[in-house]
């Protein structure tokens, strides 16, 4: 396996790697051409990922017979493990494999997991999920880190680049989020899972055919050193360890009671590791790392609220939404729940990226901390609208899909103020040898957000398993009102402490 990866992923390397990197980073225009290649690879991977994500809760309730509370907990646990492994994937990429081989290996694992689910999703559900969890951990943080490497440290175009990249994520999420759950509910779950495998294969082939343009970006840290040959067994150890971990992950994911132990260990362990790494850097670099940790802490809160989309909002869409959009279009409410946010991101992410550039040229662009705070304020507005759907419901508890969609429009602006900027700021604040790890920490924060999202979603479910749609409507919308209040508080606090965080960030904007 290692020889195959080396043969495919080291093509295009020359002895003058630094000059190649300079040529890449000195691009003309708004976006480097390599960004478009990574854009399309990520787009198809996100089709697979969000297609799988959109199916989880609905499949567990309708096909595996779980009640809604258990399904919410299971969803939170599964997604938590997905994002927790991005930290591990980033660590192995930084220290052993490099970004390219990590991405390739992760893609192979995701294809394998989706094929397992396509064959027999009921009997091999947790086995297929385990392959996808670990595969995403190797794939996701490393392609994002390579995007950051396309830019010089103080290039003002970086945020715009990540906003464009983020729109690629959401094209995939739009297609996968709507198509997979619709195909699963209307035709066949096997076909839906099989579609995720097909598009993941397209993603991997896209990367293989275009990776030559990346020059020295993404190679193993041992590449071109005297240790390159002798360290080859490290690659084999990572691949073997990954496969050995599959049954362990399958057990942890299948039994949510183990999730508490895992989350209690992995987060503190990751922080201790970061603190240990800080001892190797200057005081200025340590300040920036502390600033990064503040962003990471607040992102846990953001994702805990935002990720109701895959849990409680998915069940809310199935139980309480009519199927009429704009009064005339008949659509799948679950498809809208999975795809509306992505559609709005596709429309507005490039435009917002250009707005940041326009404001930057006039020295009026809000700093990153203020953008994060605005993200929470939009999130609060969105959940107030989700709460307000109760005022448009009929006596049977069915409410307006239009109002629900408006809430997703608002939540999109919150996401665009935080998520693509978060990807960018991790690459700005972290020293180069720690960029993969810090990107992994960013996604580890998402893991905790997903975990808390599952707990919050389970808490919103009606205690009565025989609850009517009207009772479920009241139960969920009461929860959304509480989330709106918490998001508002978080946004105000973050804006209030922005001067302190800016001092820690130093010259980084």
**Do residues 296 and 441 lie in contact, with contact meaning Cβ atoms separated by under 8 Å?**
yes
Q: How many CA atoms lie within 13 A of 200 on its CB side?
A: 29
Kindly state whether residue 309 falls inside one of the protein's structural domains.
yes
407 close to 483: Cβ distance less than 8 angstroms: no
Helices (H), 154-256: 158-186, 189-210, 232-254
Total domains, the chain: 1
pLDDT (tens, 9 = 90+) of the chain, 509 residues, equals 444 444 444 444 444 556 777 777 777 777 787 788 888 888 888 888 888 887 888 888 888 888 777 777 787 788 788 777 777 777 787 777 788 888 888 889 999 999 999 999 888 888 998 999 888 888 876 777 778 778 877 777 776 777 777 777 778 888 888 888 888 888 888 999 999 899 999 988 988 888 787 777 767 666 666 565 666 777 788 888 889 888 888 888 777 777 778 788 878 888 888 888 888 878 887 888 888 888 888 888 898 888 888 778 888 887 888 888 887 778 888 888 888 888 888 888 777 777 877 877 887 777 778 888 888 999 999 999 999 888 888 888 888 888 889 999 999 888 888 776 776 777 778 777 777 677 777 777 888 887 888 778 777 776 666 778 788 888 888 889 999 999 999 999 988 888 887 888 776 66
pTM of the model: 0.73
Burial of residue 483, with CB atoms counted within 10 A of its CB: 0-12 exposed, 13-18 middle, 19 or more buried: buried
Say how far residue 473 (Cα) sits from the centre of its chain. 28
Q: Does residue 350 sit within a domain?
A: yes
Domain that holds residue 276: 29-505
Among residues 75, 89, 53, 71, which one has the least CA distance to residue 341? 53
What's the distance, CA 70 to chain centroid?
23
Residue 101 CB-half CA count within 13 A: 28
Residue 96 lies in a domain: yes
List the end-to-end C-alpha distance of the chain, in Å, as a whole number: 42
Q: How far is CA 174 from CA 91, 94, 171, 255, 347, in A?
A: 30, 31, 5, 30, 11
Q: Classify residue 20: in a domain, yes or no.
A: no
Q: Is residue 1 part of a domain?
A: no
Q: What was the pLDDT predicted at 18?
A: 64
Residue 264 lies in a domain: yes
**In this structure, is residue 287 part of a structural domain?**
yes
pLDDT at residue number 15 = 46
In this structure, is residue 24 part of a structural domain?
no
Residues 6+ apart with CB under 8 A from 363: none
3-state secondary structure of 138: helix
Q: What CATH number has the domain bearing residue 339?
A: 1.20.1250.20
């Amino acid at each position: 396996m290692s020889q195959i990866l080396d043969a495919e992923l080291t093509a295009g390397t020359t002895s003058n790697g630094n000059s190649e990197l300079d040529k890449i980073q000195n691009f003309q225009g708004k976006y480097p051409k390599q960004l478009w290649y990574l854009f399309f690879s990520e787009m198809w991977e996100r089709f697979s990922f969000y297609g799988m994500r959109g199916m989880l809760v609905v499949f567990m309730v309708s096909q595996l017979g779980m009640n809604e509370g258990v399904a919410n907990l299971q969803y939170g646990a599964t997604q938590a493990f997905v994002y927790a492994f991005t930290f591990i994937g980033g660590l192995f990429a930084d220290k052993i494999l490099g970004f390219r081989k990590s991405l390739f290996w992760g893609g192979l694992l995701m294809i394998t997991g989706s094929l397992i689910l396509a064959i027999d999703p009921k009997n091999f559900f947790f086995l297929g999920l385990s392959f996808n969890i670990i595969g995403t951990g190797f794939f996701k943080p490393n392609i994002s880190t390579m995007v950051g490497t396309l830019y010089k440290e103080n290039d003002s175009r970086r945020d715009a680049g990540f906003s464009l990249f983020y729109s690629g994520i959401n094209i995939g999420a739009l297609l996968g989020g709507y198509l997979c759950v619709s195909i699963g509910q209307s035709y066949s779950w096997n076909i839906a899972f099989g579609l995720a495998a097909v598009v993941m294969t397209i993603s991997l082939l896209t990367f293989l055919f275009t990776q030559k343009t990346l020059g020295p970006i993404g190679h193993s840290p041992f590449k071109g050193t005297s240790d390159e040959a002798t360290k080859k067994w490290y690659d084999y150890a990572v691949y073997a360890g990954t496969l050995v971990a599959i049954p362990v992950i399958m057990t942890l994911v299948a039994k949510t009671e183990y999730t508490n132990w895992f989350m209690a260990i992995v987060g503190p362990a990751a922080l201790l590791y970061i603190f240990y790494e800080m001892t190797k850097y200057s005081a200025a670099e340590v300040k920036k790392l502390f600033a990064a940790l503040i962003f990471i802490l607040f992102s846990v809160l953001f994702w805990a609220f935002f990720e109701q989309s895959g849990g409680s909002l998915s069940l809310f869409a199935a139980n309480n939404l009519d199927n009429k959009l704009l009064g005339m279009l008949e659509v799948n409410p679950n498809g809208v729940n999975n795809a509306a946010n992505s559609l709005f991101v596709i429309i507005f992410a490039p435009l917002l990226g250009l707005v940041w550039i326009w404001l930057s040229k006039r020295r009026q662009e809000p700093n990153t901390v203020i953008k994060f705070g605005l993200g929470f304020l939009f999130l609060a507005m969105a959940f107030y609208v989700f709460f307000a759907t109760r005022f448009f419901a009929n006596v049977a508890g069915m409410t307006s899909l239009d109002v629900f969609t408006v809430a997703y429009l608002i939540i999109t602006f919150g996401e665009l103020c935080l998520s693509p900027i978060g990807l960018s700021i991790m690459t700005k604040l972290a020293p180069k040898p720690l960029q993969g790890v810090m990107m992994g920490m960013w996604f580890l924060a998402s893991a905790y957000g997903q975990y808390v999202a599952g707990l919050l979603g389970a808490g919103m479910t009606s205690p009565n398993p025989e609850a009517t749609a009207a009772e479920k409507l009241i139960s969920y919308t009461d929860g959304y009102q509480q989330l709106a209040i918490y998001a508002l508080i978080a946004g105000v606090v973050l804006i209030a402490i922005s001067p302190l965080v800016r001092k820690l960030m130093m010259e980084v904007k």
